Amino acid sequence: MGQDWERNGVRIVRAGELDPNTPQTPGMSRAAAITHANSGASKLWAGTVVVQPNAKTGAHHHGEVETVIYVIRGRARMRWGDKLQFVDEAGPGDFIYVPPFVPHQEINARRDEPVEAVIVRSGQDPVVVNLDIPSPEDASDVRWIDPTHK
């Protein structure tokens, strides 16, 4: 007996099948693409996010979870370090890798266009540890908070 590859093989999640029934935050919209429920994935989570201009998260890390962000449109600024003292930006076609336990902050660097990105995580549990680290960035009207950011 062989594997039932028809049922347990490749799964294509079409654009119209993304699940918007995921936690939402003012200033951004999310849709889950690869989850245990819709694809059977057990080690990965993937989805899309659209972040409105000038939105940002507070400082946090994701415990043991690794995160990859692929920027489709816009300009994403990342701050990281014990005092968020390191900074760099990514644009369309760039990948951002966030290692486990790294204190960081995500920021839409533009005030005139959204950031559109794909997010992939090395686990499905929503791990987030909020940190009391003041941001060097100016305050924004909208916080960028993905499904695990509180």
**Span 57-103, pLDDT tens digits:** 778 888 999 999 999 999 999 999 999 999 999 999 999 999 999 99
**pLDDT value of residue 101:** 95
- Mean pLDDT of the region 28-56: 85
**Is residue 31 very low, low, confident or very high in pLDDT (cuts 50, 70, 90)?**
confident
Helix (H, G, I), strand (E, B) or coil at 29: strand
- Mean pLDDT of the region 2-11: 82
Measure CA of the first residue to CA of the last residue in the chain; give whole Å.
48
What's the sign of the alpha-carbon dihedral 35, 41, 42, 46? negative
Q: 73 forms bridges with which residues in the sheet?
A: 116
pTM of the model: 0.83
**pLDDT value of residue 28:** 63
Place of tokens 């995160």: 67
**pLDDT value of residue 150:** 45
Rounded Cα distance between 71 and 48, Å, is: 10
Q: Does domain 43-150 have CATH number 2.60.40.10?
A: no
Picking from 92, 98, 93, 97, the residue whose alpha carbon sits closest to that of residue 110 is 92
- Mean pLDDT of the region 17-45: 78
Residue 143 has pLDDT above 70, yes or no: no
Sketch the domain layout of the chain as residue ranges. Answer: 43-150
**pLDDT value of residue 81:** 96
Highest mean pLDDT (candidates 17-31, 35-49, 54-68, 106-120): 106-120
Q: Under a CB-based contact definition with an 8 Å cutoff, are residues 28 and 52 in contact? A: yes
**Is residue 141 very low, low, confident or very high in pLDDT (cuts 50, 70, 90)?**
low
The string of DSSP letters for 56-113 reads BPPSEE-TT--EEEEEEES-EEEEESTTS-EEEEE-TT-EEEE-TT--EEEEE--SSS
Rounded Cα distance between 21 and 24, Å, is: 8
